[in-house]
Amino acid sequence: MTIDRRDLFRAGGGLLAATAVGSLAPGTAQAAETAPVPLTTRNPLVEQRADPFITRPVNGMYYLTGSVPEYDRIVVRGAATLDGLATARETTIWRRPSSGKMGGHIWAPELHRIDGRWYVYFAAGDSDDVFRIRTYVLESTSDDPRAGTWVLRGQMVTKWDTFTLDSTTFEHRGKRYFAWAQSEPGIATNSNLYLAEMASPLALKGDPVRLAVPTLPWEIQGFKVNEGPAVLVRNGRVFMTYSASATDARYCMGLLTADERSDLLDPRSWTKSPQPVFTTNEATRQYGPGHNSFTVAEDGSDVLVYHARDYRDITGDPLYDPNRHTRVQRLYWNDDGTPSFGVPVGKGGPCVRLSPLDDPALHVRHYEYRLTADGNVRELADSQFRIVAGFRGAGTVALQSVNFPDRYVRVVDAATVRIDPYDESDAYGRAASFTQVPGLSDRLAVSFRLPGEPATYLAHDKGRILVFRPGAAVRDRQRVSFRLS
């Protein structure tokens, strides 16, 4: 296959999953077979599916649902892999009635398996008032949520009969909880976050507690909104992400945190992060990331699921712009046990991190555009790359920066390796192309050899990334071998 680098650059510099790690040029196939990328999926995963929810695997299958641009139905698709969801057949499991209650906007369905049954929690308006949004629930006894008969079980009744949406459920320490967004009488906001214990999958137990109100500057842009809660329990804590502000480029994600042993129904157990954790990124051209959920990759690593647009400017009401696409990317963890979200990555295939085998606690990163190897990298995106087709023809690869997608790893001299803006010169192509081979010290790792210099590789040396000719010593070969994660 002949690849025009100018075309790739105009498309954002990346390749689709078909040409990313796993099916690179000849000479790299063996490395791809022995060193698979944990999350081998494209981005975006599914176009025009907002408010995405992907289940954890159930009987070997992932299931995806989300809001459709028409806001008129609930759809589900299933696949054995996350990447398979991109092309999976979609089934409509429920349509809104032609008039009356639930005949208006249908928003943000979530699909949950509880006690051997499937439940869909969704928000719906009425035909004569599409914004009279309340939460409803569907139930199915089928093993496969795409098959069988779904039964409408009615409205999820909360303390107030007001604007209610974005419901989710989770189980923790023997109790099942319901989290949602609602407009509370007497509070001048569009929606706040609430939590209650569940008496059953169809009803709440006791009064709700208010966990969060939009008060911070980044939560009140356009609208005063806290919505779209999603829960992940890890590292002794309960993390609840949520989305804030208007649904344009100002939309972003915040984070609440509680100790897993605390009383989750005590608002004092929860701490709100003062800054958003996931926001619009101009460099990657991803705008308004939010309304997320969590799943796990095939290897068990955590995956962030969310929607975002590929452009900032919107004609008309953002609510009716159809191009909020479903996206997935791996969720990493800081050394202190907190989640590391990074930036919403742009179009293309898998993103990876590289750890030198002579010091596997470190990750290759760029700092002021120069490559180093550091531990506990808090700026996650500085340590993420895409392995794409190289500039020197078949058999070569390039390492594209995730948060500066117009820049690629380039050898300046023996002691200096940087990420530099792409240009079409032969000199740049030679300096920014490598041959990927199985790791010299471990075939589950990879090594990057300089084309035309069969004995010279990218290497790690006491926190620096440089080029090096390894000898036969184990330490030498570890210095030029990198684990992908």
The residues annotated with a catalytic role in the active site are 51, 227
| Beta carbons within 10 angstroms of residue 30's beta carbon | 13
> Pairing state of beta strands 237-244 and 252-259?
antiparallel
Nearest partner of 225 among 249, 252, 189, judged by Cα: 189
Nearest partner of 14 among 384, 463, 320, judged by Cα: 384
Nearest partner of 306 among 339, 348, 341, 256, judged by Cα: 341
Find out whether 400 and 13 touch, Cβ atoms under 8 Å: yes
Q: What is the rounded distance in angstroms from the CA atom of residue 58 to the CA atom of residue 65?
A: 14
Find out whether 409 and 385 touch, Cβ atoms under 8 Å: yes
| Beta carbons within 10 angstroms of residue 315's beta carbon | 7
DSSP string, 269-296: GEEE-SS-SB--BTTTTBEEEEEEEEEE
| Beta carbons within 10 angstroms of residue 231's beta carbon | 21
Half-sphere exposure of 81 (CA within 13 A, CB side): 11
Q: Which residues pair with 444 in a beta bridge?
A: none
Nearest partner of 258 among 245, 273, 239, judged by Cα: 239
Nearest partner of 29 among 348, 470, 397, 478, judged by Cα: 397
> Pairing state of beta strands 192-200 and 203-212?
antiparallel
